[in-house]
Structure 1
Amino acid sequence: MATKNSPRVGKLSSSVRSSMLAGSKSSCGGSPKDLFYEAAAICKAPPKPKRKRSDRTPTPTTRGEQHAMGNWALPSALLLLLLLSTVPDRGRKLHANAEDSGDSDDLVDLPKVEDKLGAVPHGLSTDSEVAKREAESISRRTLRSNAEKFEFQAEVSRLMDIIINSLYSNKDIFLRELISNASDALDKIRFLSLTDKEVLGEGDNTKLDILMKLDKEKKILSIRDRGIGMTKEDLIKNLGTIAKSGTSGVIIGTAFVEKMQTGGDLNLIGQFGVGFYSVYLVADYVEVISKHNDDKQYVWESKADGSFAISEDTWNEPLGRGTEIRLHLRDEAKEYLEEDKLKELVKKYSEFINFPIYLWASKEVDVEVPSDEEESTDEEETSETSPSEEEETEEDASEKKPKTKTVKETTYDWEVLNDMKAVWLRNPKEVSEEEYTKFYHSLAKDFGDEKPLAWSHFTAEGDVEFKALLFVPPKAPHDLYESYYNTHKSNLKLYVRRVFISDEFDELLPKYLNFLKGLVDSDTLPLNVSREMLQQHSSLKTIKKKLIRKALDMIRRIADEDPDEFHNKDKKEKESEENEKKGQYTKFWNEFGKSIKLGIIEDAQNRNRLAKLLRFESTKSDGKLASLDEYISRMKPGQKDIFYITGTSKEQLEKSPFLERLTKKNYEVIFFTDPVDEYLMQYLMDYEDKKFQNVSKEGLKLGKDSKLKDLKESFKELTNWWKDALSSENVDSVKISNRLDNTPCVVVTSKYGWSANMEKIMQSQTLSDATKQAYMRGKRVLEINPRHPIIKELRDRVAQDSKDESVKQTARLIYQTALMESGFILNDPKDFASSIYKSVQQSLDISPDAAVEEEDEVEEAEAEEKESTAKAEPEDADESSAKDEL
């Protein structure tokens, strides 16, 4: 039956149908408010008054009631229209920034319209949750459009390009880096809580743990910690730039980029302080949500496109405090959405992290549910039963319970993944070598294949009680000696009652042992104090003393086999293990030998113990490293001094004239080729009552020479004359030498002056003091070989005519040659070259007055003119060809 309002209702229905077909067109082209007014213009009928509760008797439908029913359709239709108009198109996605909204590179899918309507009975309910989610989506889109955009620092962009385009197969490292960063953040907030309990907050915020959660549908892996969190400024600084290390100004991230570009190992990324960026090995879009106690909650997000955006977070669940990282994984990284994979990686890399790591994991449990099987009924008995039997039957029926069955049901709960007790708190006898190795990798963030060279796990008792675990790394850090005197950060972590305090104490170990990794856990030190106060605590000196002793014993064990173990092994096993030990110490020396030398210079108290760890090559070591004890065992009878020589290379020193007589008499000479050796020997004066003697300095004693006195008398005239002739060359004296065999003469320095090698080192210093150099250079001594024919002939020439200029010139040339052969730098190379040319002229019988033929100036001018003409011709030809083309 038609009414006046029927067309209007029909028109509204078609409008609703068109809006359903158009989807997001209404939300993009017109606002929900516009659609509402459009519908209101069509349907102006007043709403039907409420029916009374008692009026429920059905009556025949009249024309007026049909009109009222039409009015009931209006609110429902309007409600559906409003709901549909606020739902974005199923293909529409959320953009990070307003200026990016036109890009096809979208970020996050929103739920489909059908999905939301399917959750509502008949698709007509108002569903407050849907409305809430839609409001959040609109709010989030608005806030993201207002997000601040930043460009990555150049070094970060280079680093991310390397990572994103890397073919590196071990992508697992991203998880260990994120867990390591989370652990550091938890360490910081726990340290702050020692002096201010309020920083932890209340409730779940007091739980210091790491949480991981998977969303397989959206391909999102989330890692959350309740650590110190980051302010907006921290997000920009920590995730957009590469910070400088310490006061040295060395940009460690840049060093990593350069190392990678030369074929470095991406596995070392954590050692360079840029481990966060490894997330782009597996993710193409990353969100970092962080809340610091001193700031609001912010979201950092980036698609690794050279920029990142930061906005205030009002749509995510409040963190309270801490950081949550959401990785939107690539298709090829879906394996990291598997629980077993994450469990495997945590066990491999992060088993010994000091905070519990939880995974929102699934597990199957047995559940009792009602049985669906119908209960079988007994056949009806036709026979009559007695009253007593009827009573028993009724009692049995009352005692019967409903039948159930057991089924498997999947539930989710937090599962702890690292339940291992801290290694340093366990008995060393109960810890396996594999566990020590895994703990070292976790502690040092060194996840290579090599195990540490040695470790020392001990407990100290007495006035100061503490537990310690020290490791010798297999390789030296890339910048170990570059900032040796500037850095204040050690590789030793300090714990007090299992609470991490700091890794910036240089009071626990001296600088020369800063290559050691490890930790110290003390129950004696006070807990609620600042780092500055703790540095002045008297117990630290005791701890330091014991740590040094244990560290040096550990290094000694690498070099020397333990006597008790060695005694219980057969000969072949002894030899093989001895060779292995020597190989291990050779590796240690090549990596950290300079540190032992610096220790001898700096640590007078332990100088003798460190000297036992010295290694070097010598004239009798056959290319292998030798110790001072081995040298002493090979000393000749009556030899009182330990002979050594310094220089730039072993090959150069083997040809040195200073070794001629020593090697002929079978004396062993140590080769020191490291620049630091010159400083070392200024502090290491003796060893086991044996003095050190530099064979390039005066004072060398090789036993008594009965002919020496006669030789001095025979060459007295020559030595006196030669000293006067070299008065301008800073020569203190000319003496008969006891160290030469085939060389005419050498130049040696005074006992406490600089050697030739030391002079070169000091002259190469940028800020060297010329006045100090002149003072420390000392006097030079020319030692001559009285058995050499050149020296004998020169003696005879001087005896014949001491004023002969040619003899003086020859003597000067011999001295300059000896100066160079002894390792010194000539003061006047031009004068030396002129002397050489004159000698060549004499050997070629060329007159000293012979002049250099001068070039004819006329011919030279003509040649220059021809050359310029030849150059101009091609240019003219080019101009003419260009004109022809035009």
Structure 2
Amino acid sequence: MRLNRILLLITSVLVLVAVSVLADQNQEQKPIHAVASDQQGEGRPVGTDPLAGLPNDIPEDELASVEKEKFTFQTEVSRLMHLIINSLYKTREIFLRELISNASDALDKIRFLSLTDPEAIAANPGLEITIAADPEKKTLVITDSGIGMTRQQLKDNLGTIAKSGTSEFLAKMESGKSDITQIGQFGVGFYSVFLVADRVTVASKSNDDPDQYIWMSTAVDDFTIAKDPRGNTLKRGTQITLHLKPDAYRFLQEKNLKELVHKYSQFITFPIMVWSGQEEEVPVQEQETLLNDDLVEESIDDDINKSDKKKKTEKRMVYGWHHINVQKPIWMRDPKDITDKDHKEFFKSLTREPTDPLAWTHFKGEGEIEFRTLLYVPSVVNDVFYQNVQKDQSNHPIKLFVKRVFISDEVDLLPKWLSFLKGIVDADDMPLNVSRETLQKHRSLRIITRHLVKKALDMFTSLSENDPKAFAKFLGQYGTILKYGAIEDQPYRKKITSLLRFATSSNTEPFSSSLDDYIDRAKADQKSIYFMTGSNIAEIEQSPFIESLLARGYEILYFTDPIDESFVDKIPGYNGKQFVNIAKGDLTFGDDELEADRDLEIKFRPLTDWLVDTLHESIEKAVISQRLTTSPFAIVAPKSGLSGHAQRVLDAQGVNHKNPNMEYILESMRMQKKTLEINPNHPVIATLLDYVEEDNVTNEMINLIQLMYETTAIRSGYPLKDMTQFAGRVEGLIRKAVGVSILEEAKIKVKKAADKTEEERKADQELKKTNIVYEDENDVDHDEL
């Protein structure tokens, strides 16, 4: 068994090398006088006839007589096509990008199968994409020699849409908030053909089906499938014929087709050939042979006459297959020869995203395994990334190639926290299993992953040093993800942490200071990194917790990201200094102040004891504060408890039904009693002490202390347990100030609503019998789409 596996592995590698050589040969530019491939015109020579290389169309009489089977589109397909046909978009041209991308995927699949089964490409070894326009018939034909589709696959693939992302896509389209350039991200790219065509024919031949079939639709409600009356003209692959709408005839022009291929698909790894003509000096004798297809008799003249005849040429349009994407794969080129524009175009071709990347890195890994890599940072994080992280799923952002042969985009080459990156890895050697889904978890992959993570972090560092504005934009999109990476990936924790940037009390601009910057500005003998959390900077600046530290000249980090407290819990320190949350636990600054606090504790003990008795439902103890300078009170959580900001974040997330035990722990932390800190230098506190010592505390004063505690809770970031009670205390205070009795009620003067009439009841009963959700003149019945 082991010997068989080794033999299979050796066979795979040998086939891989052979196919790689074939792929490199396919990338070479073909001469203009090439012979058209079989599926493009039965091997006819090219020349001055602009229609010579066009595919053979199905005669209308044959099409009418062929036995067809009619099917109805899936509801989502009908809705999608209705929106496409009846909506106006500026980017109709993306239909060609979608079809070329699909063709490239089909070619990738057949090339991968050929690694272990060389017979898979035997019927049609040439792997390429061809595009031909017929100005007379107003058709555009896109052909690939990929894996093809069986009759059943034509029905399944072109009559239904995979559920993933479709509902979201349709909702955005119907609301008018979606740019159709994003269509490829939802797996519905084929239907973009109906942006430009009112009738589409798809012919396809698969190795798994003895016959070639055609799929036809006019984008109404149904489609038909029939055996192709032309027979097996493709041998293998798919040919899509678009009957263009009158307002789309510009896509028949050679210039436009070449520009679109170059714009969207120049970095496709397979040759893209466009049938077009160019003016050439053609010998008259040779040209006549091409035109008349007659045998030219060679007269017996002297050498001078022969020489004169050879010089007789004239300019003629000569037609043939022109290779458009002549550049070799961008990752195989010298990085110094690749421009920023090249990178931006390749990124858009690779990801189908409309915006430029924020940064990229291009490198070659050497050692135990050699590989080339391109990594890109998208300008905006995709919502799917967070959805997959939440579901503990991977994003599979990297396409894996081996010697330019696409292998898989379902291999986890990056840790989850870096899977927002996009790119390719092209290895010179890689052990493969028979199926792409079970690619071996080989040591080579672990080596590649280590290289990728290191180079990604180097790319972020370079961006921070060379373009701070772009780096701030990067952190705005990916800062939270980096903190998640620091929590999850201990080996890279310090490097990731050094990349983070925060607003501080010295510079409130977002992402302005690193932890190294903070430590450089630290005070003498400062052993802590002080931070405060809040929903925003303005909220933190109004907090009583920062008063004493700012008065002492300490700098405070402002944490406004919901993940920040979890981040510092997992990373308690940086470069020898500990993180300290100034809203939690004890806060001390020196032995001299501790001695002074002991004296104050004794002096204010009557007041602190009275406060504990009065507020016993909310606080565990009351102590002298070192945090406060101008505020009378502050409410502090235990060191292991929840700060006000953390509690609000948890409350916003709701109940964790998936983990009841964790929810129980969090609820226990929410219910923890807090510590009330008092400012002994505040006049209100000093006066309260006098009242308590004189035993002169009234019920009204107790009520005011409750109110003061609740306002302090709000300032400290905690939600109130009883908002109604708080509002009542405030109202009571206002009533007393304006001289209104607490017992006096508001006078109610409102008109009671009339009962429903009999006519209204009957109308309601009639509406129950219909499917109308609501009545509006602009209402759309989506079931009809």
Q: TM-score band (shorter)?
A: 0.7 to 0.9
- Partner Cα separation in structure 2 for residue 660 and residue 262 of structure 1: 50
Mapping for residues 404-803 of structure 1, pairs under 5 Å: 404=309, 405-408=312-315, 410-448=317-355, 450=356, 452-486=357-391, 487-506=393-412, 508-527=413-432, 529-531=434-436, 533-561=438-466, 581-626=467-512, 627-703=514-590, 704-705=592-593, 707-729=596-618, 731-768=619-656, 769=660, 770-777=663-670, 778-801=672-695
Q: What does the per-residue CA deviation read over 1:121-172, in whole Å, with 9 as the maximum and x for residues that have no partner? A: xxxxxxxxxxxx999654421336x431313533x44443443344433433
The corresponding residue for 1:282 is 196
- The one-letter code matched in structure 1 to 2:575 is E
Mapping for residues 161-172 of structure 1, pairs under 5 Å: 161-172=82-93
Shift of 1:344: 2.2
The corresponding residue for 2:163 is 244
The corresponding residue for 1:324 is 239
- The one-letter code matched in structure 1 to 2:99 is L
Shift of 1:528: 5.0
Q: Secondary structure at the match of 1:693?
A: strand
- Partner Cα separation in structure 2 for residue 237 and residue 397 of structure 1: 69
**Is residue 828 from structure 1 mapped to residue 722 from structure 2 by the alignment?**
yes
Q: Secondary structure at the match of 1:773?
A: helix
Shift of 1:280: 2.6
Q: What does the per-residue CA deviation read over 1:563-589, in whole Å, with 9 as the maximum and x for residues that have no partner? A: xxxxxxxxxxxxxxxxxx111112212
Q: Secondary structure at the match of 2:388?
A: coil
- Partner Cα separation in structure 2 for residue 559 and residue 765 of structure 1: 33
Shift of 1:873: 14
Q: Secondary structure at the match of 2:490?
A: coil
- The one-letter code matched in structure 1 to 2:622 is V
- Partner Cα separation in structure 2 for residue 456 and residue 675 of structure 1: 30
The corresponding residue for 1:212 is 131
Shift of 1:555: 1.0
Shift of 1:781: 0.7
- Partner Cα separation in structure 2 for residue 692 and residue 586 of structure 1: 23
Change beyond 3 A, Cα 1:231–1:759: farther
Bigger Rg, structure 1 or 2: 1
- The one-letter code matched in structure 2 to 1:348 is K
- Partner Cα separation in structure 2 for residue 424 and residue 767 of structure 1: 48
- Partner Cα separation in structure 2 for residue 477 and residue 516 of structure 1: 10
Is the 1:160–1:304 Cα contact (8 Å) retained in structure 2?
yes
**Is residue 140 from structure 1 mapped to residue 63 from structure 2 by the alignment?**
yes
Shift of 1:259: 5.9
Change beyond 3 A, Cα 1:433–1:402: closer
Change beyond 3 A, Cα 1:823–1:135: closer
- Partner Cα separation in structure 2 for residue 838 and residue 526 of structure 1: 78
Change beyond 3 A, Cα 1:399–1:210: closer
Change beyond 3 A, Cα 1:716–1:526: same
Shift of 1:852: 4.7
Q: Secondary structure at the match of 1:171?
A: coil
Aligned partner (choices 271, 274, 279) of residue 359 of structure 1: 274
- Partner Cα separation in structure 1 for residue 319 and residue 189 of structure 2: 31
The corresponding residue for 2:763 is none
Q: Secondary structure at the match of 2:386?
A: coil
- The one-letter code matched in structure 1 to 2:559 is F
- Partner Cα separation in structure 2 for residue 397 and residue 597 of structure 1: 86
- Partner Cα separation in structure 2 for residue 852 and residue 733 of structure 1: 38
Q: Secondary structure at the match of 1:675?
A: coil
Unmatched segments (≥5 aa) in structure 1: 1-132, 246-250, 373-394, 562-580, 876-886
Is the 1:719–1:734 Cα contact (8 Å) retained in structure 2?
yes
Is the 2:385–2:395 Cα contact (8 Å) retained in structure 1?
no
Change beyond 3 A, Cα 1:806–1:319: same
The corresponding residue for 2:18 is none
Q: Secondary structure at the match of 2:66?
A: helix
Q: Secondary structure at the match of 1:147?
A: strand
- The one-letter code matched in structure 2 to 1:314 is P
Is the 1:646–1:673 Cα contact (8 Å) retained in structure 2?
yes
Change beyond 3 A, Cα 1:402–1:714: closer
**Is residue 311 from structure 1 mapped to residue 199 from structure 2 by the alignment?**
no
- The one-letter code matched in structure 2 to 1:658 is F
- Partner Cα separation in structure 1 for residue 526 and residue 215 of structure 2: 73
The corresponding residue for 1:185 is 106
Is the 2:607–2:692 Cα contact (8 Å) retained in structure 1?
yes
Q: Secondary structure at the match of 1:612?
A: helix
Is the 1:753–1:776 Cα contact (8 Å) retained in structure 2?
yes
Is the 1:495–1:519 Cα contact (8 Å) retained in structure 2?
yes
Question: What's the TM-score once normalised by structure 1's chain length?
Answer: 0.71
Unmatched segments (≥5 aa) in structure 2: 1-55, 289-299, 761-785
Is the 2:432–2:440 Cα contact (8 Å) retained in structure 1?
no
Is the 1:600–1:610 Cα contact (8 Å) retained in structure 2?
yes
Is the 2:73–2:160 Cα contact (8 Å) retained in structure 1?
no
Size of the alignment, in residue pairs?
Answer: 680
Q: What does the per-residue CA deviation read over 1:739-761, in whole Å, with 9 as the maximum and x for residues that have no partner? A: 11222211110112121122222
Change beyond 3 A, Cα 1:232–1:700: farther
Is the 1:271–1:445 Cα contact (8 Å) retained in structure 2?
yes
Q: What does the per-residue CA deviation read over 1:729-784, in whole Å, with 9 as the maximum and x for residues that have no partner? A: 2x221111111122221111011212112222222334334522233334411111
Change beyond 3 A, Cα 1:821–1:612: same
The corresponding residue for 1:175 is 96
Change beyond 3 A, Cα 1:309–1:836: same
- Partner Cα separation in structure 1 for residue 405 and residue 611 of structure 2: 74
- The one-letter code matched in structure 1 to 2:95 is F
- Partner Cα separation in structure 2 for residue 597 and residue 177 of structure 1: 36
Mapping for residues 90-239 of structure 1, pairs under 5 Å: 137-143=60-66, 146-154=68-76, 156-200=77-121, 202-203=122-123, 205-239=124-158
Moved more, 695-704 or 517-526: 695-704
Q: Secondary structure at the match of 1:305?
A: coil
- Partner Cα separation in structure 2 for residue 429 and residue 244 of structure 1: 43
- Partner Cα separation in structure 2 for residue 401 and residue 605 of structure 1: 79
Shift of 1:275: 2.5
Moved more, 321-330 or 776-785: 776-785
The corresponding residue for 1:115 is none
Change beyond 3 A, Cα 1:429–1:873: closer
Shift of 1:224: 0.8
Q: What does the per-residue CA deviation read over 1:359-399, in whole Å, with 9 as the maximum and x for residues that have no partner? A: 23334452343999xxxxxxxxxxxxxxxxxxxxxx99999
Is the 1:586–1:625 Cα contact (8 Å) retained in structure 2?
yes
**Is residue 269 from structure 1 mapped to residue 162 from structure 2 by the alignment?**
no
Is the 2:275–2:320 Cα contact (8 Å) retained in structure 1?
yes
- Partner Cα separation in structure 1 for residue 564 and residue 168 of structure 2: 31
Is the 2:508–2:537 Cα contact (8 Å) retained in structure 1?
no
- Partner Cα separation in structure 2 for residue 702 and residue 242 of structure 1: 65
